[in-house]
Structure 1
Amino acid sequence: MTPPLAYLFDMDGLLLDSERIYGAVARDILVPQGFEVEAVDAFFLTMVGCSGAESVRRLEMFLGAGADVDGFNGAWHAEVAKRVGANVPLRPTVRDSVARLAGQGARMAVVTSTSGEAARRHLGGAGLLDHFEAVLGGDEVSARKPDPAPYVEAAALLGLAPDMCAAFEDSDRGITSAVHAGCRAVQVPDMRPADLPLPALGQLVAPDLATALEMVGAFAQRNVAE
């Protein structure tokens, strides 16, 4: 299998184990206000992969009429940033996989719904930022996932067509964006409702990033050499 010319990665839930922090902070804020833990957890799973605007819309529906959505959203993201800044957890196999690609001279970029400034800060805190040629945030694209624009525009930043790139996503919205952009796409599911089937988009599915990279032939050249 011919390896892709570049590798495009989602961030939250794919590289960084930050989705669980978002969920924990939501519980810490909402449960003392009378919301049930189970209801908060179930609602949060519907938020994974959403853009900022879509998150606000869903929060308005969940919190109810008269709720201070902006106040909650501000406190939520501030506490998440604090916790992630103190300790940026990675998803399994990520550090070794990204380092191995970097050692091969692979071209890599991050394509995330998080703002570009926050994404670069979080990746820097995780010790990953220097491996990426570009980081494209949700506030730096013409349209957000599940629109294909983020992956089309990330590939263009590298001077490539999307079909020359492999893309890796955990969320359904993200994998929809990657597939419709034309990337060789692999979904590595993380936090999602247990009874929700994966979208049937023709994507590959892997249990972790290392396996996903093997599926697209990322380490083929090194394996031959070994």
Structure 2
Amino acid sequence: MTRPPRPLLFDMDGLLLDTERVIQAAFVEECARLGRAGNEVHDLFLGMVGTSGAEVSERVGRFLGMGVDMVAFSAAIEANFNRRTADGVAMRPTVAEVIPALAGAGHDMAVVTSTSGDRACRYLAQAGLLDHFRFVLGGDEVPAAKPDPAPYRMAAERLGCAPGEALAFEDSDTGTRAAVRAGCTTVQIPDLRPAGQPLPALGQHVSVNLAAGLALFDLPG
């Protein structure tokens, strides 16, 4: 009997979409407006990749100091990001080819992201990817953020499978921990990370891009 296509779960920022570099540029620029520049700004950003919005706000607030209006700073970051992506959001390497191929092969697919659901859907729609996924599970729709396994467990349940049946793809250490802890077979495809920082030894597979990661499992199709 032919085995049904495997359920697939994908992170978004830095995995499907090349948004992390844009956010980094916006963050560095807005920090410079407040007189904070140099390696410490870059190091702070890289250390926050993959974390929840609440944790980012807390860490940035401590970094910038008590006198900074974090609501205004967050709004400035978002406006800066929107200016930089006015013509669309770029995809990570091989994504434009493999995601439609996977959908065409019948794989049940979902996005599991720390970005809010509405915003994630908007970015994916701009990139022409949204319709390939059954749903998008945003960071504002889960009881606990990555690295907690809750987002991946919830996504697997919504797809009607056990986490162990699903194949998950992540770029960050935080997201990889979440997927592995949930019980998913996990492929980490690193994007932005601090120089010299080793990947965590979690039993995950590691690949250079999405197509190569899929090829480890004779996917797509």
Give the TM interval when normalised to the shorter protein: over 0.9
Instruction: Specify every segment of 5 or more residues in structure 2 that has no aligned partner in the other structure, as ranges.
Output: none
The one-letter amino acid paired with 2:196 is D
- Cα distance in structure 1, aligned partners of 2:94 and 2:157: 28
In the TM superposition, residue 33 of structure 1 has moved relative to its aligned partner by: 2.6
The RMSD of aligned alpha carbons is 1.5
Give the structure 2 partner of residue 178 of structure 1.
179
Deviation at 1:82, TM superposition (A): 4.0
Contact 1:162-1:183 within 8 A present in 2 as well: yes
What SS does the corresponding residue of 2:110 show, helix, strand or coil? strand
* Cα drift, residue 178 of structure 1: 0.2
Distance 1:136 1:85 in 2: 24
Correspondence for 1:12: 13
2:5–2:105: 8 Å Cα contact kept in structure 1? no
How many residues are treated as equivalent by the alignment?
219
Please say if residues 3 and 218 of structure 1, whose CA atoms lie closer than 8 Å, have aligned partners that are also in contact.
no
For residues 171 and 133 of structure 1, the distance between their equivalents in structure 2, rounded to whole angstroms, comes to 23
Name 1:208's counterpart in structure 2: 209
Partner of 2:141: 140
Mean CA deviation greater in 74-83 or 122-131: 74-83
Distance in structure 1 (CA, Å) of the matches to 2:4 and 2:215 = 10
State the match for 1:67 in structure 2: 68
What is the Cα deviation at residue 3 of structure 1?
A: 8.1
Distance 2:4 2:196 in 1: 34
CA distance in 2, matches of 1:78, 1:158: 34
- Which structure 2 residues correspond to residues 1-226 of structure 1 after superposition, within 5 A? 5-219=6-220, 222=221
The share of aligned pairs that are identical, in percent, is 53
The superposition leaves residues 113-134 of structure 1 with CA deviations (integer Å, 9 ceiling, x where unpaired) of 0000000000000000000011
Q: So what's the TM-score if we normalise by structure 2?
A: 0.94
User: Is 1:92–1:209's contact at 8 Å kept on the other side of the alignment?
Assistant: yes
- Aligned-partner residue type, residue 41 of structure 2: V
Shift of the alpha carbon at 1:169?
A: 0.3
Task: Specify the SS of the correspondent of 1:22.
Answer: helix
Distance (Å, rounded) in 1 between the aligned partners of 2:182 and 2:141? 17
Contact kept, 8 Å, 1:184 with 1:216, in 2: the verdict is: no
C-alpha spacing 1:203/1:3, structure 2 compared with 1 (3 Å): farther
Contact 1:172 1:198 in 2 (8 A): yes
Distance apart, 1:84 and its partner CA: 3.0
The alpha-carbon deviation at position 40 of structure 1 amounts to 1.6
Residue aligned with 1:86, SS:
coil
User: What TM-score comes out, normalization by structure 1 length?
Assistant: 0.92
Helix, strand or coil at the partner of 1:75: helix
Q: Which amino acid aligns with 2:198?
A: P
Deviation, 1:85, is 4.5
Q: Which amino acid aligns with 1:55?
A: V
Aligned-partner residue type, residue 74 of structure 1: A
Separation in 2 of the partners of 1:3 and 1:73?
44
1:39 CA drift (Å): 2.2
Using the TM superposition, name which of 37-46 and 7-16 deviates more: 37-46
CA distance in 1 between partners of 2:100 and 2:30 (Å): 37
* 1:44 CA displacement: 0.8
